[in-house]
Structure 1
């Protein structure tokens, strides 16, 4: 396992790299970190792939833009630059925010991706209407509204040695002991500027007066013409698995859509059940070949 950097302009993104084969980019979510992909990276390498797991924009001091731009549009741009640095076409695996970035990137720039795996996030295109049919999700997503406030979210998350971060982990993946994974995430989120940057991702969602944010919203209406697999833990305490009943439509994924519910797993399914999830990921990677 190597520690490397990916670069977009003046931003330098720390990353983990391992393996020898077709390239796979793995994007983490909140409140997580790129280092927690290590176990999955090793399993992908054993299956013959090169895995690269970069920090998301803002999740290290070296990749915090002076402009404070933590929009999904900017995150998609980061991803495309990474893909070009790895040869132009890659497989993509995203968890949480990483999955959201993946849906948008694969919809807008399908030629850059061989396959896409979305973990813990159902298809976004039909999600707004699905919320009306799964009312418990409004309560589960209440933290997103709280994160729009100034100052208070940072204070709540930081209190008692990032106790708020720990509470989210335990609520979203109940009856599971996160151990070193949680400690890794807390260490990264405690670095200078990282926690405000991570919250900046949420705060940019409502900035629809910005042209780039409106463009990213428009990408949601596009079909995803990349072979896609959606994995969700059956005990996810962040995104209700019932959302799959109202967001899955094969017409939105003309290149193929595969859906798996992972038993005995919550929101951090790839950390809770790494062997089972890795098997599903590799099976989907094998459905699409990258010609690089």
Structure 2
């Protein structure tokens, strides 16, 4: 069962969920937007008996005491460095990485720039960034799916619309989440600074992420995409395949964007098999 742990990184304190034996291989799990580390608790419980130590942080902006003001604190470089520093803080040089949505954006960045640190990478929903951004630039279907980002980058207006009617917009996204997850999400996003911080992921990086700096990935990779995903279309997925040159497994789910909540029975054995096949020791 996951337990809470506060990890200090300089001036920041990250609220984390951890599970398993610290001597086992490390698996870091990165949540997306708008969620928290609670989304991973079931998977963490299923990985522990297979000798994996799981660490799922509430990432920068979501942890109350790791929530600096200003979008410049939320660049992809800083978000990625947090992950590396968390691994170091628990005494690990290498780790497996599992990530969804914005967590997967950070994951692709790490898999390319720090391949010697990553034993395996499991990306959920978001394909290789170069392929994905090519689709945003050139594919009408993906452009339509990504229109929501234009709202999220507008200061104050985005916060106002999201908070309206006690997060009615978010509640629609969370309709597949458990009551426990819903309570955790609301408690997190009702913190005024957290909502703005989470939106700063878009404001600091959208239109500025240097996709040419995220090239071919050679880390063993499992990518799982739901073909009913409202935000990620097939074109970006297809283009992304071309940039994964190492051992690569692609799995298409019949679910939507919220894969863990809606297709866990399919994902769990696939992820577990992949991790076991890429053990370090």
Q: Is the shorter-chain TM-score for this pair beyond 0.5, marking a shared fold?
A: yes
Measure the CA separation in 1 of the matches of 2:206 and 2:108.
Answer: 18
1:42 aligned to which of 40, 45, 70:
45
Equivalence for 1:288: 278
| 8 A Cα contact 2:135 2:142, kept in partner | no
Equivalence for 1:131: 136
Measure the CA separation in 2 of the matches of 1:203 and 1:132.
Answer: 18
Deviations 1:109-166 (A, max 9, x none): 1111100000010111222223356422212111111111121110111011111212
> Does the C-alpha gap of structure 1 residues 159 and 104 become closer, same or farther in structure 2, counting only changes over 3 Å?
same
SS at match of 2:129: coil
Structure 1 unaligned blocks of 5 or more: 171-176
| 8 A Cα contact 2:134 2:236, kept in partner | no
| 8 A Cα contact 2:130 2:212, kept in partner | no
Q: 1:1-292 to 2 correspondence within 5 Å?
A: 1-20=2-21, 21-66=24-69, 68=71, 69-86=73-90, 87-131=92-136, 134-169=139-174, 177-180=176-179, 181-206=181-206, 208=208, 217-220=211-214, 222-249=215-242, 252-263=243-254, 265-291=255-281
Larger CA deviation: 181-190 vs 75-84: 181-190
User: What value does the CA root-mean-square deviation take over the aligned residues?
Assistant: 1.9
TM-score, normalization by structure 2: 0.91
| 8 A Cα contact 2:25 2:95, kept in partner | yes
Measure the CA separation in 2 of the matches of 1:136 and 1:183.
Answer: 34
Structure 2 unaligned blocks of 5 or more: none
Measure the CA separation in 2 of the matches of 1:62 and 1:146.
Answer: 27
SS at match of 2:130: coil
Larger CA deviation: 31-40 vs 270-279: 270-279
